[in-house]
Chains A and B, each alone.
Chain A
Amino acid sequence: MSDDPIREIAATAARAAAIAAGLDAAGAARRLGEDGLLGVLAPDSVGGLGLPLSAAAAVVAATEAALVPLPVAEAMLAARLLADRHPEVAAAIVAGEGVVTVATAGAFICEEGRCSGTVGRASAGGAARWLIARTAGAGPVLLDLRAEGVTIEEERGLDLERPPARITARNAVATPLGDIAGFEADLLLLHAAGALGAAEHCLDRAIGHVGNRRQFGKPLVAFQGLRFELARQKLALEGARAALDHALAVAGQDPRAEGVARLVARSACGDAAPAIIEAAIQLHGGMGFTWDLGLHRQLRRAREAAAALDAVAARAALAERLEQAWAA
């Protein structure tokens, strides 16, 4: 695929994200759905575009930068995952008619199609219609959150626009999903892309700030100490981007979660993205620490992404696969 369709999608996503950022989760889903952005990965049969993962990465870079209050990566990947076996759910997600979320903590206990127990840290779970959750030993399930026996309560987390939720099921009907390793691996790459998109946005904001603010008779950007700091952050950003772009490009050939390219991207992006946003906050001085400036919002989301990316675990896994890296 050439860069042009991706650039086009990035531009569409930036426009839609700016509007969706001012809506609630349901409204944001409808808005992005209208532009076809939630169906970037899903096949044509459910109204999707069937594009490669790099297109979804462009979407999520824009929606994370703009703080869209929707788990966009989860929606794009769930629509692809569910297209064959649950086309009606996939089509609804693509159209933005309902929010889908993923529980990243805990597992249900399921027997004969019915699940009980508590799972949590489901992004924007309070606004969600569908949940993908793990089970103890029985493989992941899809749960309709309107089903009987399901209760949802908000949890404390870092992300302000997509507060996480805890979901308790009591003998609720759920659908087994089979192997979703590819879904989970790709979700990590999209988290990396989103965090890096947010980091780039914050770095641009910092550059804007030091260009405008004058102290000691000159703009801050004229001070070499600040220029070097910005250059260092750019270096970190471009290094992480090189790792991510490669992982996205080979994602189709290597659907395993533990391939070298994916581990490298997790390590590079998981470390770089929050650090760049922290530096952008620092470069804003006292303003950087205020609630109203708002860079803490991108930082909160990037920290959540970094927790999922788990750079330490990624490097530990990479250390076991050095021979594979050297053979490439």
Chain B
Amino acid sequence: MSATTTLPPAEAPTIDTEGYRTRHRAWLAANLPARWRSDNPDYQSPMLEEAKAWEAELHRQGLWGVAWPRDYGGHGLTLREHMIANQEIGRLPMPESVNSIGKELAGPIILAIATEEQKRRLIPAILEMREIWCQGFSEPEAGSDLAGLRTRAVKDGAAWRVTGQKIWTSGAHRAQRCLLLARTGTMESRHRGLSLFAVKLDQPGVTIKPIRQMDGNAEFNEVFFDNALVEPEDALGEQERGWAAAVRVLEVERGTNRIYRAWRLEEELRHLLTVCRTDPALARIIENPHMVQRIAGVQVDIEVHKRMIEGVVEDLCAGTGIGGRGSLIKQHWSDYHQRQAQLAVEILDGASYPPSPAVARAQQRFRTVYLRSRAETIYAGTTQIQLGIIADRILKLPREG
């Protein structure tokens, strides 16, 4: 969440940081249902309606929308408090948000480029979990290369009609809105002829087909638009300029989305080692000097991750931009989390047989984490895209000599 686009640092309220942290920690400890903790042998993932109610409650408790303006249902604090709240979320093995696209992508873009009416209508619906969002950017012929984007939006009176296909659309099957990037200019205008829309998904012109992933789940989808309607009030930002503005927001978001991640990955390591100490065979494995080096190496990577995040938050609060640094952070965590997940699976394979319920739960959790971690160097821009951004934007390497 980009506090800088909404809250000038000078207006930042001063609050008692430790009291703020303690309050959130205590509330989460008392209210997170035990069966949703992914380290619980009796773990059950929440049903969609339960997850929505839980997240709406998190917002009421001040854990979501921390740095968003009060006018739109936010809590009007700064990115520093947003980070503290996220650290507390990260420390617990809590369910992931089912509306992270709304909260960490659509919301910040709406706050940056939408009209006052749109902000008042769309932002509270995200925080209150009345509307779940998905992101309609990628297409079969346009991944990170948006110049090839083909989905078209054409004027129909004051409204728009959309035709085309999106792919890799996470959460579309549960979403009410799609943040759609569509071509309103010519193909020749490449990435400049693109505009943003807040499309309603519950309509006849929209078909959603799940895609089964290598972990067995079907979180992402193909979304087909066939003359789908976009009401006039759902066009976001200036036509054909919306995208440029969104890119500026996304640059910040790449550094700040899921800010809890470093603390959650630390929680994963803590869960792993805590379980290992309960099993004699695993306890021996984690004392092996080679394993000690790998385990501590992961903790070093986690510490570096935390410091990178804190640095970005401080710079944003001070009003400094972060340039392409989001790519450094994304590449750092996606690399080490794959090593971490692989290590967890390797270690847990050495458990005594039959495994205790606690060990069996950890095995199940980290098999899933391992498989899902393979997606982390692909989504939100592959490793190769991130390295390209680091070369172009951070090192500023010339294309030609």
Contacts and interface: CB of A to CB of B under 8 A. Distances in A.
Interface of A: 207, 210-212, 214, 218-219, 221-222, 224, 227-228, 230-232, 234-235, 238-240, 242-243, 245-246, 260-261, 264, 267-268, 312, 315-316, 318-319, 322, 325-326
A319 B296 contact: yes
A207 B328 contact: no
B394 A243 contact: no
A211 B304 contact: no
B156 interface: no
A210 B302 CA distance: 33
Contact of A231 (B295, B387, B398): B387
B94 to A, nearest CB: 16
Contact of A315 (B273, B293, B397, B399): B293
B283 to A, nearest CB: 14
B328 A238 contact: yes
A261 B306 CA distance: 12
B300 interface: yes
A161 B283 CA distance: 48
**Across chains A and B, which 6 residue pairs bring their CB atoms closest together, nearest first?**
A219-B401, A315-B296, A231-B390, A242-B307, A227-B391, A231-B387
Given A239-B301, A319-B295, 18 more contacts: A211-B398, A219-B400, A221-B399, A221-B400, A228-B387, A231-B386, A231-B394, A235-B328, A239-B328, A264-B299, A264-B304, A267-B297, A315-B296, A316-B289, A316-B293, A319-B293, A319-B299, A322-B299
B308 A234 contact: no
A221 B398 contact: yes
Interface string B109-149: 00000000000000000000000000000000000000000
Contacts, number: 111
A316 B382 CA distance: 33
Contact of A260 (B301, B303, B332): B303
Nearest to B307: A242
Contacts of A232: 387
Contact of B387 (A210, A227, A260, A264): A227
Residue in B292, B299, B394 with the greatest tally of chain A CB atoms within 10 Å = B299
A235 B334 CA distance: 12
Contacts of B384: 228
Interface string B358-401: 00000000000000000000000000101110110011011111
Interface of B: 266, 269-270, 273, 289, 292-293, 295-297, 299-304, 307-308, 311, 325, 328, 331-332, 384, 386-388, 390-391, 394-395, 397-401
Contact of B391 (A212, A230, A316, A318): A230
Nearest to B295: A319
A141 to B, nearest CB: 34
A224 to B, nearest CB: 8
Given A231-B390, A235-B328, A318 B300 contact: yes
Given A222-B401, A326-B270, A231 B332 contact: no
Contacts of B270: 322, 326
B395 A230 contact: yes
B331 A227 contact: no
B390 A268 contact: no
30 contacts: A214-B401, A218-B400, A219-B400, A221-B398, A221-B399, A222-B401, A227-B387, A227-B388, A230-B391, A231-B386, A231-B387, A231-B394, A232-B387, A234-B394, A235-B328, A239-B301, A239-B308, A242-B307, A243-B303, A243-B304, A245-B307, A246-B303, A246-B307, A312-B293, A316-B289, A318-B300, A319-B292, A319-B299, A325-B303, A326-B266
Nearest to A214: B401
Nearest to B293: A315
Contact of B401 (A221, A239, A318): A221
A323 to B, nearest CB: 9
B280 to A, nearest CB: 19
A239 B332 contact: yes
Contact of A264 (B300, B328, B401): B300
B401 A234 contact: no
Nearest to A236: B332
B401 A315 contact: no
B391 A315 contact: no
Contacts of B391: 227-228, 230-231
